[in-house]
Structure 1
Amino acid sequence: MQAHALRLDEPRAADADFDERRFRHALGRFATGVVVISTGSGERLHAMTANAFMSGSLRPPLIVVSVGQHARMHERLMACAVFGVSVLSDAQEAHSRHFAGEPQSRLAPRFAGVDGLADVVLLEHAAARFAARVVDRHPCGDHTLFVGEVLVFSLDEHAPLIFFGGRYGSVAGSQIATPAHALPPSAHCEQGEPGPSFARSHE
C-alpha cells in the first residue's frame, strides 16, 4: 500500500499567521452533543453550557469535560470535589443558550437533587445525567481537562440536542435506541429551582 503526502493549505499552529478563527470553524465541523455542567446547589449553584464532553473509561466509569481557564466554571471545578453533567435533549436548546450567556426571560430551569450528594444537581428532562467525583485534572493549553468518576447516572428516551457548524440540530426520535447495557460513558451562572429528588441508578 502506497501512502500519499497530504498537502495542507493552512499554516501550522506554530506559525505567526495561524488563523485561529478558521481553526475554530474547522473544529466546528465535528458534530457534538450539548451538555450543561453544574456544581453546587441552592444559592451556590453554578452552571455552564459546553460541548467538549466525552466518555473516558468504562472500568472505572469515567467522563471528561474540557473547560476554558478563564471561565468562572474553571475556578469552581478546581476547588470542588463533585460535579454534574446534563446531556441536553433536543427540546432544551433554550437551556443551552441560557447557560451560555444568553438569558432566556421565559425560561425557568428546573434542577433535581441527587440522593446522598448535596453538592450536585442535574437538569430535569435531560437525555442523560451524570454525577461525578473529580479524580484528576490535566492542563490542556488554555483549557483544563477535568476527569470525573461517575457515581450516579440516568438516561431517558429524549432525542439529543446536536451542535454542528455553529448551529443547533437534532436527530429523529425514532433513531434513538437504548442499548442493552447503559454506559456511564462559554458560561453563565444561574441558580436553578430545586426539583424532585434524583434517585441513584443501579443499571
Structure 2
Amino acid sequence: MDDRQFRDAMGKFATGVTVVTTKVDGNVHGMTANAFMSVSLNPKLVVVSIAEKAQMLEKIKQSGTFSVNILAADQQELSMVFAGQVKNHKEVVFEHLNGVPVLPNSLAQISCEVSASHVEGDHTLIIGKVIDIRVEDSEPLIYSSGKYRLLAEESK
C-alpha cells in the first residue's frame, strides 16, 4: 500500500474536530487536530497525536499544559484558521480554563497537564491529565473523507 491509500482509508473514519491550544511566554498557540481520544476515566486522561514536525509539539513540551477544544458545527472557520487554511481572518479571542487558553463556545473545553509523551512513528502521543472541563450543548463539527460534515437528524 502507498501513503495515499493509507491516508484515504484513515480519512473514512469520521471524527470530531478539535483545536489544541497552549500558552508559552504569554502567547497562545493552537492547531487543528482530529487525532484525539479519551484514554482513562480514573485517572481522567486524554491523548492527542501531534506530528514530530509540528511547531505545536515543542510549544506543549515548553508549557506542560494544553487544552482540547471540541468544535461545534458553527466553528468550521476556527478549524480552518488553526489548520493554516485561512490567512486573513479576524483575531481569535480566547478564554481561560484553569489558566489554559480555550476557545469560547466550543462543545467541550478540556484543560490538561502533560502526563506523558510517547514517540510513535512520525508523531508524538501527548497524554494529558484532565484538570478542568467545561461542556456546552450543541451540534458537533464532523470531518470525514477530507470534508467538513454535519450530523444528520435521526429518522424515526
Pairwise TM-score range, normalised by the shorter structure:
over 0.9
Select 1:73's aligned residue among 37, 44, 56: 56
The residue number in structure 1 matching 2:8 is 25
The residue number in structure 2 matching 1:50 is 33
Distance of aligned partners of 1:57 and 1:121 in 2 relative to their CA distance in 1, 3 Å threshold? same
- Structure having the larger proportion of residues in helix: 2
Percent identity between the two aligned chains: 38
Q: Is the 8 A contact 2:49 2:126 kept in 1?
A: yes
The structure with the larger Rg is 1
Distance of aligned partners of 1:58 and 1:27 in 2 relative to their CA distance in 1, 3 Å threshold? same
TM-score by length of 2: 0.92
Aligned partners of 1:66, 1:141: CA distance in 2, in Å? 11
Aligned partners of 2:101, 2:24: CA distance in 1, in Å? 6
Distance of aligned partners of 1:41 and 1:80 in 2 relative to their CA distance in 1, 3 Å threshold? closer
Q: Is the 8 A contact 1:64 1:148 kept in 2?
A: yes
Q: Is the 8 A contact 2:108 2:134 kept in 1?
A: yes
The residue number in structure 2 matching 1:129 is 109
AA in 2 matched with 1:150: V
State the 4+ residue runs in structure 1 displaced beyond 6 angstroms: none
AA in 2 matched with 1:36: V
Q: Is the 8 A contact 2:93 2:103 kept in 1?
A: yes
Residue 165 (1) aligns with residue 145 (2): yes
**C-alpha displacement of 1:22:** 1.2
Select 2:76's aligned residue among 69, 79, 93: 93
**Structure 2, unaligned runs of 5 or more:** none
Aligned partners of 2:68, 2:24: CA distance in 1, in Å? 14
Give the alignment's Cα RMSD to 1 decimal.
Answer: 1.6
- Structure having the larger proportion of residues in strand: 2
Distance of aligned partners of 1:112 and 1:41 in 2 relative to their CA distance in 1, 3 Å threshold? farther
Q: Is the 8 A contact 1:41 1:121 kept in 2?
A: no
**Structure 1, unaligned runs of 5 or more:** 1-17, 176-203
The residue number in structure 1 matching 2:22 is 39
Aligned partners of 1:166, 1:76: CA distance in 2, in Å? 27
Number of residue pairs matched by the alignment: 154
Aligned partners of 1:52, 1:129: CA distance in 2, in Å? 16
**Secondary structure of the corresponding residue to residue 130 of structure 1:** strand
**Secondary structure of the corresponding residue to residue 66 of structure 1:** strand
**Secondary structure of the corresponding residue to residue 74 of structure 2:** coil
CA displacement 1:7-61 (0-9 Å, x = unmatched) = xxxxxxxxxxx41011100000000000000010685110000100000100000
The residue number in structure 2 matching 1:9 is none
Distance of aligned partners of 1:85 and 1:155 in 2 relative to their CA distance in 1, 3 Å threshold? same
TM-score by length of 1: 0.72
